[in-house]
Amino acid sequence: MPDKPRVIVVDDEPDLREAVAEYLGQQGLSVRAVGDAAAFRAALAEATPDIALLDISLPGEDGLSLARFLRGAHGQTVGIIMVTAAGEVVDRVVGLEIGADDYVAKPFDLRELLARVRATLRKVEAARAAIVLPAKPAERIPLGPLTVDIAARKVMDETGAPIDLTAMEFDLVLAFAERPGRVLTRAQLLDIAHPGGSDPFDRSIDVRITRLRRKIERNAAAPALIRTVRGAGYVYDG
């Protein structure tokens, strides 16, 4: 969240929205005030707010529609406070059902509004903190007792010493390490070793696998890492 939480006030009453914007701005918030849904969507395209203060009774597209749109686009990472007229119980309930965090009824006290904004900001912060970031791709992958260092394009033995491989041999090792248990056909391996299709003979892969085994297997005559699947191709069992 930025140093100053961003609030968009959407209300078709100019005096009210300006009074709210001025007051919240004095309380350390960055506030933008607009009068209708079109202006709100334009403002949203420029910057995502932390809180949207939505009047339900807007001309044209109403606040409930905007709340539904916000929830669909941003989940719980944008707070929504609905503004209702006194006694609009049905609209209030609908607003909460579609995902509004809170509501305030007109006429309201600005100090109460500020308290509700701050409480909603805490909910937004908690929701953003709960988002699980995707795991970083593994930089190293095991291949039996060996280690494949993707960034360095190296394969190390049990002691950490690098094994001397050609670029094509490394690409083959990486293909097996990334697909444990999956049989790779000669055609697939040929495409990996020769992505430009410069070698039309899929049996050339057999020669390359034989050379590779001599470098990475403890016993190339009885390979334990890259196993032959007759009639299909090769597999690393993992």
Residue range 43-68, pLDDT digits in tens:
998 999 999 999 998 999 999 999 99
Residue 133 has pLDDT above 80, yes or no: no
Residue 197 has pLDDT above 60, yes or no: no
Q: Read off the pLDDT band of 232 (50, 70, 90).
A: confident
- 8 Å CB contact between 80 and 112: no
Q: Which two tokens stand for residue 108?
A: 């309201």
- 8 Å CB contact between 145 and 155: no
Residue 17 has pLDDT above 60, yes or no: yes
Task: Give the separation between CA 36 and CA 28, rounded to whole angstroms.
Answer: 24
- pLDDT of res. 198: 46
Prior bond of 162 cis (ω within 30°): no
Residue 94 has pLDDT above 90, yes or no: no
